[in-house]
Structure 1
Amino acid sequence: MSLTLADARIVTTDGIHDGWLTIEDGRITHVGRGSAPRPGHSLGGRHVVPGFVDVHNHGGAGGSFPAGDPGTARDAIALHERHGTTTMVASLVTDTLDGLARAASALAELCEDGLLAGIHFEGPYIARSRCGAHDPSLLRDPSAQELAGLFKAARGHARMVTIAGELPGGLDAIRMTAGEGVIAAVGHSDADYDQTLQAVEAGATVATHLYNAMPPLGHRAPGPVAALLEDERVTVELINDGVHVHPAMLRLAYEVAGPGRTMLVTDAMSATGLGDGEYVLGPMRVRVEDGVARLVEGGSIAGSTLTMDVAFRRSVRELGLSLPDAAQVASLTPARVLGLADRVGSIDVGKDADLVVLSDDLEVAGVMRRGAWITEP
């Protein structure tokens, strides 16, 4: 089956072009400029960007990935798809090893069905002093042997592990993780500048939600933020929801790391897409008020209610990114981090037809995944 999308403003890595594209069997076969050579589905001059790629997402629509329920996980996936996320990693939170293994095994089914791009273990190998919304009673020192068991439960779909490298066994766990082809991320860490560099030398290549759950940037004690921003081997996650990070610090990170080492994430939790109220994130109770999620006990920020279309829009409006740069940090850079840039992340011939159609005010007007409309414009 062939479909031509015409009268589009196509956002590519080298700019914005008035043109058209053709899709066959779920993949992009032609990208052209000007008028389409044959009649097609007119997009009325609206922008088309690549489907968003979210490497850090805990759920939505009432579904929580840490719960390991495939049914409600599908609800969460469907919600984020409607908001333009066509590639998603399911993030877990600190739990018992048995609980993590059960959740990973359940989510592996959705990976095998092509609905998820992998599983992210955010905990339990994180610092108690920077645990945020993780249950401190369940935290553990990193163990390569335990990680091997979690990877086995994930049946080859473990995609990322967040580790505080300064903990006993942390560097060995990072080496083991990277050696298995799984992304090792620095996060929920109390490491100083030098300890963070040691984690990067051991194989860490991602900063889990930069700035959050780590020591702040300081002029005498630069801490992990400076180490992670300046090292060309590291890609940094940024939560652009107006709550987690001040726009000035987002701009600073972007100016240092650039679009090639910056990626937007949602850190979304089960309340995303729903109203205020009480929810759970793993074993922790969360209250959402005015769209902001915080632990009932202690008040720590507990994920977000963000969707990637909002993060994309804020990056253009609040940070001043061009549409091609916003598309890179929301799509291509995370796709590269996941090793999927040959299939997704940009609008190029041969890639999956994962597309988001945006109105003039950058609201989602249509979403396509692998050539099939999720929401038809």
Structure 2
Amino acid sequence: MTEPMILRGTVVTRDGLIADGVVSVSGEFIDWVGPTAAFPGGGADGAGANPAVPPPSDSVLVPGMVDVHCHGGGGYGFPDSPADGARYAARHHLRRGTTTLLASLVSASPERLLERIAMLSPLVDDGTVAGLHLEGPFLATECCGAQDPRFIIDGDPELLARLLAAGGGRIRSMTVAPETPHFAELAMALTAAGAVVSVGHTAGDFDTVTAGIAGAGGPVSITHLFNGMKPMHHRDPGAVAASLAAASRGAAVAELIGDGVHLAAGTVALVLAAAGADHTAFVSDAMQAAGMPDGQYRLGPLDVTVGGGVARLTTEDGSPGAIAGGTSSVLDVFARAVRLSGASLVEAARAGATTPARLLGLTDRGALAAGLRADVLELDPDLTLRQVIRGGTPVE
């Protein structure tokens, strides 16, 4: 049984800021959020009769981040590490503020995907991760990015049925190119299984992507908008424009890897202005090199070279390969959006926690509100992490 705790500082709620507020935690849940002066026994001066109320603080309190697209970190990857390594990767991100995480796989052979689903399933069952995300194999080879083209195949409803059966409800999202054969059937099966249809790694034109999003029949996300798709041109708007338009009208949630490598700060500002934080989800797309020194790593079956914190596929001639995932956390993306993209704390918290939690149907978390799971980050005024609390328990 965790000890009750009272946190004090600037509280970032779904609706605004509480300049001097309290987040009260009892057990695994938040039991009260509001101004310190209104807290029972808090007193108007913030000292009050309740000795449990801490003194005024410069802390910034935000919800724990929710990452719907993450391949690993801390030297381990979900597509290739053993169970202990996968747990360590999840722990790496937890210690950096991600209190809810999907474990993302990459395109691989059916046998390999089934093996990884079986290996990762216990991590879903014990709450280490919130579910699995399959990034492939029904993608466009032309826009495969750091996916191995050897394992990209046409949409196969029978294979999807096998993968979903093996997942037993643990697959929460799957990236599919809308132009792949049988897309409508694939989307229907994913929606019926409670998984998000994530449109991405697509060479589809505007009409194809728009139709795919409209026909998905359930929650839709855009796998790392702008990345894994052709650049937008004013006479050939393509997947970028179709995805941004869908997010702007509330038909999809756009993932953004706003780490300064995948996207410029101005691009993040554009999406937040057009689609709003309620239809934007910050993601890390992190791979095993997240939090590690520069050097040689793996992303599934492919070799990756990290230099200056940027992960790229290793090439024979040493030239820069395709960007191969990220090395940051969602909290890094959150902080960068505030510092460089003009996002408010409220907008950044929605995009980093509230919106991705809602996308996954996790109604018990993603915000600082009474009755929700006590996933709380305590930050310095400059948004540096001070403390992580997950389910009411401080994380070392």
Query: Which TM-score band (shorter chain)?
Result: over 0.9
> 1:300-319 to 2 correspondence within 5 Å?
300-319=322-341
Q: Secondary structure at the match of 2:4?
A: strand
Kept in 1: contact 2:62–2:378 (CA 8 A):
yes
Counterpart residue number, 2:278: 260
Aligned equivalents of 2:89, 2:326: Cα separation in 1: 14
Counterpart residue number, 1:206: 221
Q: Secondary structure at the match of 1:98?
A: helix
Provide the aligned C-alpha RMSD in A.
1.4
Matched, 1:277 2:295: yes
Counterpart residue number, 1:39: 51
How many Å apart are 1:233 and its aligned residue?
A: 1.0
Kept in 2: contact 1:132–1:213 (CA 8 A):
yes
1:229 pairs with one of 232, 240, 244: 244
Aligned equivalents of 2:223, 2:7: Cα separation in 1: 39
Counterpart residue number, 1:215: 230
Counterpart residue number, 1:73: 86
Aligned equivalents of 1:84, 1:97: Cα separation in 2: 33
Aligned equivalents of 1:247, 1:360: Cα separation in 2: 21
Counterpart residue number, 2:16: 15
Matched, 1:363 2:384: yes
Counterpart residue number, 2:360: 338
Counterpart residue number, 2:311: 293
Deviates more, 1:55-64 or 1:245-254: 245-254
The residue identity in structure 1 corresponding to 2:354 is L
Matched, 1:96 2:117: no
1:47-94 Cα deviation digits (max 9, x unpaired): 100000000000001110011521001111111111110000000001
Counterpart residue number, 2:47: none
Aligned equivalents of 1:281, 1:370: Cα separation in 2: 31
Kept in 1: contact 2:63–2:377 (CA 8 A):
yes
How many Å apart are 1:180 and its aligned residue?
A: 2.2
User: Percent identical across equivalent pairs?
Assistant: 39
Aligned equivalents of 1:175, 1:218: Cα separation in 2: 31
1:98-135 Cα deviation digits (max 9, x unpaired): 10111111111000001111100001110110011111
How many Å apart are 1:247 and its aligned residue?
A: 2.0
Higher radius of gyration, 1 or 2: 2
Aligned equivalents of 1:32, 1:193: Cα separation in 2: 45
Aligned equivalents of 1:27, 1:299: Cα separation in 2: 45
Kept in 2: contact 1:56–1:90 (CA 8 A):
yes
Aligned equivalents of 1:264, 1:117: Cα separation in 2: 16
Query: Structure 1 residue runs of 4+, over 3 Å off?
Result: none
Kept in 2: contact 1:293–1:302 (CA 8 A):
yes
Counterpart residue number, 1:116: 129
Counterpart residue number, 1:373: 394
TM value normalised by structure 2: 0.92
How many Å apart are 1:226 and its aligned residue?
A: 1.2
Kept in 2: contact 1:68–1:107 (CA 8 A):
no
Kept in 2: contact 1:91–1:120 (CA 8 A):
yes
Aligned equivalents of 2:95, 2:377: Cα separation in 1: 9
Aligned equivalents of 1:41, 1:152: Cα separation in 2: 50
Q: Secondary structure at the match of 2:323?
A: coil
The residue identity in structure 2 corresponding to 1:90 is A
Total equivalences in the alignment? 374
Aligned equivalents of 2:271, 2:128: Cα separation in 1: 31
